[in-house]
Structure 1
Amino acid sequence: MIQFPVMKKNATIGITAPSSGVPEDLHDILKSAIGRMEQKGYSFKIGETAWTDDKARSASAEKRAVELKEMLADETVDMIIPPWGGELLIEMLEHMNFNNMPAKWMMGYSDTSTLLLAITLNTGIATAHGTNLIDLRGEESDATTAMWEIVLSTEKGEAVTQHSSKCYQKEWDFENPTPHIFNLSEETHWQTVSGQSVRAEGRLLGGCIDTIRHLIGTPYGNVQKFREKYIPDEPVIWYLENCEMSTTDLRRSLVQMKLAGWFKNVSAIMFGRSPANMPVENYMAEDVYKALSEELDVPIAYDIDCGHMPPQITFINGAYAKVIVKNGHGTVLQRFS
């Protein structure tokens, strides 16, 4: 059975950096995010790793793991949100103890999703693929991003519904943030391989495919064991987003996931908008999606609100979801049971 944490009012948030920390010249934006959240009633416990970054990591793998474990064990810390993702989170997994891990919400995306998926697969504790802490520094949040609080406050046995955004951000403009940080300039349009509407149900699993693919073959990426222990006989809906890969690298990664059994009993796959998906010759992302849909005989939706072209829906690893994609719009109902 999946364990669902509950975010209490005026929660204390632990900030630790299991991947990249915030370099000194960007400390102001982390301070800004903390200040904005404190205005909303949150309090913080901030680890040393949040403020340091060198050689593509916040600290040594051991230090990152120790700090995270301390925050998990600290009863005054209610939930954990890293500043952002990074590159080398996978280094610290072998230093974690997934046995008897306290059930606390952990939220983020990009490389943070490596840790989120590993936690859910190894403990049955739900984790939240959603906004980074840094992106909560605005005067307000757009309607899609703002749903993270409602989603994480959902009680066990209850359900929460989210809808596709109206507009998304095509490119980052760090010098000119809007009151809600993102420059939402492009009209959102969820698409499907078939061109027809899609309806699917199943347990959600996913993250940034660039990084979670490296869990395959390790003790931290045993999807089959997770299925047998926590969601026997239930279908899975995968949500995936590509940060930096070409279309051929994406294809290789998806085939590896298929051969590793990650797509057994899958009811649908959803792909986030991507700043990458660089074509190789005339091999396009749509070709990748079409081939996978035909091989698995499952519906595939793409250009959904997930990943490095925000905003994004808060997807809960382990939640039972009902997804509808129709006429360019998407609806995601997640039940915490």
Structure 2
Amino acid sequence: MSLSVSVVAPASHTDPRLVDDAVAALETLGIHAHVPDTLQAPHRYLAGSIQHRLDMLYAAYEDSRTEAIWAVRGGYGCAQLVEHVDWSRLPAKPLVGYSDITVLLDQCYRHGLPAIHGPVIKDALRLNHESSESRTPTRRQMLEVVDLVTGIKPTGLPLHRHANSTPETIAGPVVGGNLMTLACIAGTSCQFVAPPHALVILEDVGEPYYRLERALWQLVHSGALDQAGALCMGTFEGCTSYGEQSLAEIAAELISPLELPLFTELPVGHGLLNRPWRYGALGRIEGNTLEFPTG
């Protein structure tokens, strides 16, 4: 099955040669990525000024050849765009990405637009890796994005119940994303607030545990998780601990006043495993699986 997508760069700048290589790798899977010549106009570490990135976002959504909008990478910059976007101009094409793109995924959900938390375009570079251990999961995840865009029912995601979680079934909209990104926008006009009964997924990369604890504390005490139904921890690639206490134990301590069930080891994040899921879709945790019963 083929798919045509518009490539966007709403956050940090990416070496154009890497974009070209990633697009070529996606072509081997039948994914045709349309990259405008003016995709990036580097401004500091950003892919362009706010206005340039907005113009490219609108152009991507308005491209009649494509079925989805796919971000090159995350990094930094998406929060700068939120107050400037005319959401009424955007058709119902799903935006795909993660990391800093989390901000736009959440805004799409709030404005009734589809979004998919999943690999970015640059991740397709792993399709050319010499090791099948890198190529195989990357190929699977890219094709799962195609399935989600084209309406194929997603498969469940495995997870692990923490000691504070009881065996009952928990259901609600699946939201969340990068922990540091969500913590940094707390108190702003685009702050993250979990909807009622939400299954909140959090992940991160390269952060020491004390910074992750600080970020989660910020979410808890800003009220972002007050209405949530569960916290689901994805991967925390390259995050360094102090002592022997696990990150799950730290999280359980922080969310204990909210009495939130905690789940861990979800294959979502900056590591090799980053299974895609529809942002805001109804999810159900049953046993050791996060299912998406409505497809």
Fold match by TM threshold 0.5: yes
TM-score, normalisation: structure 2 = 0.84
Aligned with 1:75 (options 64, 69, 73): 64
Aligned with 1:203 (options 173, 177, 182): 173
Measured after TM superposition, the shift of residue 112 of structure 1 is: 1.5
Gaps of at least 5 residues in structure 2 are 129-134
Q: Is the CA contact 1:56–1:88 (under 8 Å) kept in the aligned structure 2?
A: no
Distance 1:112 1:222 in 2: 13
Which runs of structure 2 are paired with 1:226-265 in the superposition (5 Å)? 227=195, 234-265=196-227
Q: More helix by proportion, 1 or 2? A: 2
Measured after TM superposition, the shift of residue 305 of structure 1 is: 0.7
Measured after TM superposition, the shift of residue 276 of structure 1 is: 4.3
Aligned with 1:214 (options 184, 199, 219): 184
**Structure 2 residue identity aligned to 1:151:** L
Gaps of at least 5 residues in structure 1 are 1-8, 165-189, 228-233
Deviation per CA, 1:103-124, whole angstroms, max 9, x where unpaired? Answer: 1111111111222112212x02
Computed over aligned residues only, the root mean square deviation of the Cα atoms, in angstroms, reads 2.7
TM-score, normalisation: structure 1 = 0.74
Aligned with 2:262 (options 286, 300, 305): 300
Match of 2:32 in 1: 43
Which runs of structure 2 are paired with 1:167-206 in the superposition (5 Å)? 190-194=159-163, 199-206=169-176
Q: Is the CA contact 2:79–2:190 (under 8 Å) kept in the aligned structure 1?
A: no
Aligned with 1:161 (options 155, 158, 161): 155
1:13 is the counterpart of 2:5:
yes
Give the number of aligned pairs.
Answer: 285
Match of 1:323 in 2: 285
Distance 1:144 1:110 in 2: 20
1:203 is paired with a residue whose SS is strand
Distance 1:277 1:222 in 2: 23
Distance 2:107 2:67 in 1: 20
1:242 is paired with a residue whose SS is strand
1:128 is the counterpart of 2:129:
no
Deviation per CA, 1:261-313, whole angstroms, max 9, x where unpaired? Answer: 32133221111111244335666423322213422212111222111112122
Cα 1:207–1:49 change in 2 (3 A) is farther
Cα 1:282–1:311 change in 2 (3 A) is closer
Q: Is the CA contact 1:301–1:325 (under 8 Å) kept in the aligned structure 2?
A: no
| Percentage of pairs with the same residue | 19
Distance 2:276 2:32 in 1: 22
1:335 is the counterpart of 2:294:
yes
Q: Is the CA contact 1:144–1:163 (under 8 Å) kept in the aligned structure 2?
A: no
